[in-house]
Amino acid sequence: MAARSTKFLIGTLLVVLVVGGGAYGIKRLWDSATAHFTADVCTVDGFDLDPDQASVAATMVGAVTQYRVKLPERATVLVLAAALQESKLTNLPPGAGDRDSVGVLQQRPSQGWGDGDPNRLTDVGEATKEFLDALMNVSGWQRMPLADAVQAVQISADGSAYAQHEPEAKALADALQGIKPAGITCSFEKPSKVAPATTVAAQASQQLGIATPTPVTGGVRVPGAHWQTAAWFVANADRLGIDKVAYDHQQWTRADGWRSAPSVSSAGVTATLARL
């Protein structure tokens, strides 16, 4: 993962510096090295993923919570475990996967997914919805072992492989559905691009199925929102240029993660965009 690679690089650099120049100024060297090498990483209950993977996972979770019928968290765990195995939470374009497999779930248009249209399956929300549609036809899926339930939908060469991802999928589901408050944190360098507040509000509304995101000066406020919305903002912070997220007496920043903030209201979620 990105965090581990960065720590190794920093450690190697410091060894070189110490050997070459002795121990003088080691704290200054460490501060300089860690400031230069900033890991782009999101962490959920000890699992690391990059910001792109976090954004894809948050989109999938939003699609589950918007599904035509209310589903238990188990459905979220199943679809995330499938995506971890099939693509490592990467939205693969046509031609990048095995045979004609497309998207985060590596669904095959030749087998009827996307009504035969590969472009539909590159929409993460649509791919998730189609997985859920198929899952609803699996009798007793709620009580099946994870690998059996996912295999009944995906029909892969080795269905047992899905089981290894259950702990990470459960951790992601807890964090991104807001079951675990402040369950996801991400760190990354200051963004070079920042999306307009209207774009951030529109995407939050579309992916989470909520009607209240409102552009405000410097960001977006979502009255009445809860931890799932806060988690969505954090998971998409690198992509959209979000610098801070505040909710329920806590505040997240890309530099410090979640910290106590007694003055922050629990009446809604606020995302503050970075200033370039």
Residue that terminates a domain, selected from 141, 176, 211:
176
Rg, the chain, Cα only: 20
CA 62 to chain centre: 11
Between vectors from CA 154 to CA 150 and to CA 159, what angle results, nearest 5°?
A: 60
Give the per-residue pLDDT at 258.
98
Residue 183 within any structural domain of the chain? no
Residue 181 within any structural domain of the chain? no
Work out how many domains the chain is built from and give that number. Answer: 3
Same domain (yes/no): 92, 164: yes
Domain of 74 in residue numbering reads as: 47-176
| Phi–psi pair at 118, nearest 5 degrees | -60, -30
Same domain (yes/no): 205, 133: no
pTM of the model: 0.86
Give the per-residue pLDDT at 192.
87
Largest CA distance in the chain: 67
What distance in Å separates the CA atoms of residue 83 and residue 176, rounded to the nearest whole number?
15
Same domain (yes/no): 6, 55: no
CA 255 to chain centre: 18
Give the per-residue pLDDT at 58.
98
Residue 130 within any structural domain of the chain? yes
Same domain (yes/no): 193, 240: yes
CA 77 to chain centre: 13
Give the per-residue pLDDT at 6.
46
Residue 156 within any structural domain of the chain? yes
Same domain (yes/no): 172, 222: no
Give the per-residue pLDDT at 3.
46
Residue 232 within any structural domain of the chain? yes
What distance in Å separates the CA atoms of residue 103 and residue 98, rounded to the nearest whole number?
11
Give the per-residue pLDDT at 38.
55
Same domain (yes/no): 69, 16: no
What is the block-wise mean pLDDT of the chain (276 residues), using blocks of 10 residues?
Answer: 46 42 47 52 98 98 97 98 98 86 96 95 97 98 98 92 98 98 96 95 97 96 98 98 98 97 97 95
Residue 260 within any structural domain of the chain? yes
Q: How is residue 183 written in tokens?
A: 């369950």
